[in-house]
Structure 1
Amino acid sequence: MKKRTIGRLELVDFPQFEIEGVEAKIDTGAYTGAIHCNNIQLVKLADGQASLRVNLLDDAHPNFDGCLMEFTDFSLRTIKSSTGEAQRRYVIRTVIRLFGEDFTTQFSLSDRSDMKYPVLIGRSLLRRGRFLVDVSKRYVGRKKRFAPGSLQS
């Protein structure tokens, strides 16, 4: 299988959530990917099953609609943050679209509002010989549209 070159930043879609064009940082140091969310609520359904309700992204993203997403298939895991601190986070499996291809992978749900990019792609998606990361490149899979007059740094 030929490896695709992926840049340090890519635009990704989440077809199950009808969210497109989200900036994602490629992080070979992280095992599990992460997606920005807030308003995390764990609720008990009438049948006794637990349900996780969250807002994915926030109003800074153009596709944010404020609707709560609900997950009944999730886990709670200890994940080491970029600072080395162990945190308990909810983890979901979902489809991410990259290079026009759909991949099912895991994402931890965390408040990334203090981070520059709302999505982090970790090794669990990158492995299996799929990608070669070229840190000198950005938006290899799909070009980012810049507003007129904006700096393209």
Structure 2
Amino acid sequence: MNRPPKRILGRRELVDFPAFALREVEAKVDTGAYTSAIHCTNIHIETTAGQPATLVVNLLDPGHESADGCALAFTEFVLRDIRSSNGEVQERYVIRAVVRLYGEDFEAEFSLSDRSDMKYPVLLGRSLLRQGRFIVDVAKRNLSYKTLARAGARRTRR
């Protein structure tokens, strides 16, 4: 069986979220985390009679002023126990979202949490890394974007 080659990610990557109209969001690649995470606040459930519950959050990324604080709503979500970086188990809402790396879209689970005390608004965990057949080189950064930029530069020179 021919498997596609593994792609290398650095310890930090710039990722896109096409459904949220976000490009070049700084993400920390964390092989110690199982689930990926996105920085959100004001996470709450809204209900309307006869309608499914809606999870509403404010997406926060000061690096993207147009998206900083924008409200996102999800009708498909789960509440799950997630172990935080300090070892505590917290209940968090988890959604499925598409993240783009190396120009390819990957659907993955993302827990929604207030990451304001963290340096990066997005964390990429093992479940996403396995799916995309990635390996991590901690000495590198932004390999996905650099590869696409080089490919784009080659196309424009032709």
- Normalising by the residue count of structure 1, what TM-score does the alignment of the two structures yield? 0.88
**What is the SS of the residue equivalent to 1:91?**
strand
Unaligned runs of 5+ in 2: 150-158
Is 1:29 aligned to residue 19 of structure 2? no
Which of 17, 38, 61 is 1:14 aligned to? Answer: 17
Amino acid paired to 1:4: R
1:48, CA displacement in angstroms?
4.2
Deviates more, 1:62-71 or 1:28-37: 62-71
Deviates more, 1:23-32 or 1:134-143: 134-143
Note if contact 2:61-2:121 (Cα within 8 Å) is conserved in structure 1: no
Note if contact 2:106-2:132 (Cα within 8 Å) is conserved in structure 1: no
Which of 81, 88, 95 is 1:78 aligned to? Answer: 81
Note if contact 2:60-2:68 (Cα within 8 Å) is conserved in structure 1: no
Amino acid paired to 1:13: D
Tell me how far apart the structure 2 counterparts of residues 134 and 99 of structure 1 sit (CA, whole Å): 15
- Normalising by the residue count of structure 2, what TM-score does the alignment of the two structures yield? 0.86
Unaligned runs of 5+ in 1: 145-153
| Identity over aligned pairs, percent | 63
Tell me how far apart the structure 2 counterparts of residues 45 and 63 of structure 1 sit (CA, whole Å): 28
Alignment of 1:134-145 (within 5 A): 134-143=137-146
Tell me how far apart the structure 2 counterparts of residues 115 and 140 of structure 1 sit (CA, whole Å): 22
Larger helix proportion of the pair: 2
Quote the residue 1:42 is aligned against.
Answer: 45
Alignment of 1:86-105 (within 5 A): 86-105=89-108
Q: 1:141 to 1:129 in 2, by over 3 A?
A: closer
What whole-Å deviation, never above 9, does each CA across 1:96-136 have from its counterpart, x for those lacking one? Answer: 00111000000000000100000000000111461110000
**What is the SS of the residue equivalent to 1:68?**
strand
Amino acid paired to 1:29: G
